Structure 1
Amino acid sequence: MTISYLSIIRGGYMSKNRNYTLEALRIACMCLITIIHFFSYSDILNSNLNNSFRVGFSILFSLSRCSVNIFFIISGFFLCKKDFSLNRIIKVYSQMLFASILSFVICVLLNIKEVDYLDLLKTIMPLLTNHYWFISVYIIVVIFSPAINLLIEKEEYVRIRKGILVGGGILTLYITLNPFIIGNTMIGGDHSLLWALFCYFIGGCISKYGINVKKEKLVAAFLAALFALAIIKFYKVDIILSMYSFDFESNSSILPFLMSVSLFGLLIQRKERIGEQSNIYKKNNFHFGSGVVICLSYSRE
């Protein structure tokens, strides 16, 4: 999984004019995903854990649930203003292929696991075998991105806003509460192509129109969703809900969706405020030395 996200960071949409705030967010999301996968595939969670560790893990787990959404939102935020490029797909695929083969060779040399032909096939052709589902979904999203970008560009703001509110609400409720949705389908669950396209669309709309929501409301939405999901995880309510096929933990469910959009909106507003302050400093006749100090201080953020 980490190989997939690292390939996107390195080859997907990094540009010369970098937004360091969003790059830091991407790195934080990748670290969260790595930590959660480490705990999930180890025996640590099966042992007797004290409440302090369980509280910390519940919060980390809840934060990690919005990571995939944020990756696709950031993709839409940057790629909505760019033309389709086959080189972008080739670059991501080549870096993923190199990392995949390298990890396979390391496993063989260190005798971490037994080698079979199926593993070799998955390593050489990870997309055709769905070995890295995130890369597979990402490339499909990039292929459809010109159509989504055209929709964002041509459609009126009011209709886009209504479409996001109504369509997103119906989609999240349908995925969260529908007991017939299977987790590995292309409709719902963590591997949802439909949801990835929707997150890309949201990112593109935010890039064009911004987020006209007050900071206090975004903070309240983020914290409410975070603690609600953490409580569900801490008290193991998720196990009870899963018996009825109600999924409040997948990337496409209501709580992670609220966390993703509100957190992204907070960081975008912070970036906009920094830009506005920089313009104010430029318009006023400050002393040259003070102006240099101010510019340097903002350039580090």
Structure 2
Amino acid sequence: MNEKKEFTVKKERNTSIDLLKAIAMFMVVILHTIKYGLADVEFVKASKIVCDVLQGVSIVAVNCFVLITGYFMCDTTKINWGRLLRLWIQVECFSIGMYMMMCVVPNTGITFNVTDLIRNAMPLLTNQYWFVTCYFLLCIIAPFLNVFINAVENDEYRKVLIILTILFSVIPSINIFGDQFGTENGYSLIWFCILYLIAAYIRRMDNFISTTNIFFGIFLSLTVINIILRIVGDYVPEIIQVLIRNSAVAYNGSIVLIMSVALFEYALNKKTQMSSKVTKVASLSFGVYLWHENNNVREYIWNQAKLSNVADNWLLLLVKILGVAILVFTIGILMESIRRVVIYGGRLFKNYGMHD
């Protein structure tokens, strides 16, 4: 039957989603640790496999963040200017703060000048953080997406999602001729909007599959496939390498999309009540991204990590990647904690993130 389902109001907080947020941010750090800390490094085979495994598991992180956003924002009817203001203040604090900090840290090559200060004071316009720019724009257009979501019947909604998924995930996954539809491997507002619509559909259908093990099984199975594709990617013709990158590495790749939705659904259905500390860490986790992915800090962090020194020993490399990621994550949590206390006068654990 052609019908719409009303969004249900969930009064009890699902701390499994908070845990997913924290884990997803740690996954982001893992991805950046490998991407920047081991750039242009020649690996022995075992070390390369370690990186492939870590990246294969972690590649869902960004998609999960956006799915969480879509799920919890799809019932809004107006632009949440308060959310945008809090986000803008948070980003400004880190963008300007990291720049000023690096100006006084020795041997960074960064010196103070007014032009750079102005550039760092406008992180959204200068695309200091690509994710923040896309997320900020998504928050602005979300109420208009919600007009469509609330107006369309279930059958039409399903058809729209199928068409969008084919156009912006399936076709790019098998297209060896380049990015013709502007998805930019998932680094785009277009892809964020599609994830938003998928999450809203999940919310509307009220978790149409109730067995959490199914979702975890799908995630685990496709993660193994993702890892295998990454490993064999070094030994196949270039055209196959392109297909692997499109489907298993790009955020909008079909394999990555299904992995992301499965993990999100697993967390959504798990509904395990955890310690309030999980919620507190999750609410602070966005600061982890803002500090370590800052343009002024990024190169300094990964140069100091010196991961290349252990690239020829897979076990030491694994331990160091995880150790560095934990350290980067912890520093980000502490920085955001301090910022909250300074800016909001001690209201440390009010959740200003994507899962309000």
TM-score, scaled to structure 2: 0.65
Does the 8 Å CA contact 1:72/1:200 hold for their aligned counterparts?
yes
Which of 113, 132, 137 pairs up with 1:135?
Answer: 132
Residue 246 of structure 2 aligns with which residue? 247
- Percent identity over the alignment is 22
Which of 156, 159, 163 pairs up with 2:160?
Answer: 163
- Aligned counterparts of 1:108 and 1:267: Cα–Cα separation in 2: 42
Residue 40 of structure 1 aligns with which residue? 35
Residue 95 of structure 1 aligns with which residue? 90
- Aligned counterparts of 1:179 and 1:267: Cα–Cα separation in 2: 34
- Equivalences for residues 212-231 of structure 1 within 5 A: 212-213=208-209, 214-231=211-228
Residue 69 of structure 1 aligns with which residue? 63
**Structure 1 unaligned spans of 5+:** 1-14, 275-297
**Superposition deviation, residue 202 in structure 1:** 1.2
TM-score, scaled to structure 1: 0.76
- Equivalences for residues 1-301 of structure 1 within 5 A: 18-43=13-38, 46-49=41-44, 51=46, 53-82=47-76, 83-111=78-106, 112-115=108-111, 119-182=116-179, 186-213=182-209, 214-237=211-234, 240-241=238-239, 244=242, 247-248=246-247, 249-271=249-271, 298=273, 300=275
1:188–1:40: structure 2 CA closer, same or farther, 3 Å change rule?
closer
- Aligned counterparts of 1:16 and 1:133: Cα–Cα separation in 2: 33
**Superposition deviation, residue 268 in structure 1:** 1.3
**Superposition deviation, residue 154 in structure 1:** 2.1
Which letter does structure 1 place at the counterpart of 2:79? F
1:198–1:43: structure 2 CA closer, same or farther, 3 Å change rule?
closer
- Aligned counterparts of 2:220 and 2:206: Cα–Cα separation in 1: 21
CA RMSD of aligned residues (A): 2.9
**Superposition deviation, residue 159 in structure 1:** 2.1
**Superposition deviation, residue 47 in structure 1:** 4.3
Which letter does structure 2 place at the counterpart of 1:256? V
Does the 8 Å CA contact 1:39/1:45 hold for their aligned counterparts?
no
Q: Which has the higher contact order (CA 8 A, sep 6+)?
A: 2
Which letter does structure 2 place at the counterpart of 1:193? L
1:59–1:47: structure 2 CA closer, same or farther, 3 Å change rule?
same
- Aligned counterparts of 2:208 and 2:132: Cα–Cα separation in 1: 32
**Superposition deviation, residue 65 in structure 1:** 1.5
Choose 114-123 or 95-104, whichever is displaced more: 114-123
Which letter does structure 1 place at the counterpart of 2:67? I
**Structure 2 unaligned spans of 5+:** 1-9, 277-356
- Aligned counterparts of 1:152 and 1:193: Cα–Cα separation in 2: 18
1:259–1:154: structure 2 CA closer, same or farther, 3 Å change rule?
same
1:167–1:56: structure 2 CA closer, same or farther, 3 Å change rule?
same
Does the 8 Å CA contact 1:189/1:252 hold for their aligned counterparts?
yes
1:122–1:251: structure 2 CA closer, same or farther, 3 Å change rule?
farther
- Aligned counterparts of 1:37 and 1:140: Cα–Cα separation in 2: 24
Which letter does structure 2 place at the counterpart of 1:146? P
